[in-house]
Amino acid sequence: MSAKHFIIRGKVQGVFFRATTQEMAEALGLTGWVRNCSDGSVEVHVEGDEEQVQALYEWLQKGPDAARVDEVITEDAQAEGCDGFSVLNSHIVSS
């Protein structure tokens, strides 16, 4: 079991990034969540088999067709015991 936290920067809001991330994560059998951040980034928490987490990471580096991904920051995370994969409300990022 692997748990990762990703911050994706670039043109990643208003391009269906959250919805397609949810679709991809569910197709890979992963749990977790995705949300927009007030700084224009997208934040993802994912839990599951390491190979599937890696597959999602590789997809996040490109995102949906309308997106432009400039950077994906990756951190190990604590498992939250998520049930399914959710799109959460936006998050205000403090500077």
43 lies in a domain? Answer: yes
Q: Is 93 a member of any domain?
A: no
Contact criterion met (CB below 8 Å) for 75 and 19? no
Question: Is 95 a member of any domain?
Answer: no
Instruction: Report the phi/psi class of residue 73: left, alpha or beta, with left for phi > 0 and alpha for psi in -120 to 50.
Output: beta
Write out the residue range of the structural domain in which residue 19 sits.
Answer: 2-87
Per-residue pLDDT of the chain (95 residues; tens, 9 = 90+): 899 999 999 999 999 999 999 999 999 999 999 999 999 999 999 999 999 999 999 999 999 999 999 999 999 999 999 999 999 988 887 65
Both tokens of 16, joined, read: 């269906």
Indicate whether 8 belongs to any domain: yes
Q: Output the pLDDT for position 91.
A: 80
The per-residue pLDDT for 95 is: 58
Is residue 27 included in any domain, yes or no? Answer: yes
Q: Total domain count for the chain?
A: 1
In a domain, 26, yes or no: yes
Q: Is residue 39 part of a domain?
A: yes
Read off the pTM: 0.92
The reply to whether 92 falls in a domain is no
3-state secondary structure the chain: CEEEEEEEEEECCCCCHHHHHHHHHHHCCCEEEEEEECCCCEEEEEEECHHHHHHHHHHHCCCCCCCEEEEEEEEECCCCCCCCEEECCCECCCC
Q: 70: domain CATH number? A: 3.30.70.100
Catalytic residues: 18, 36
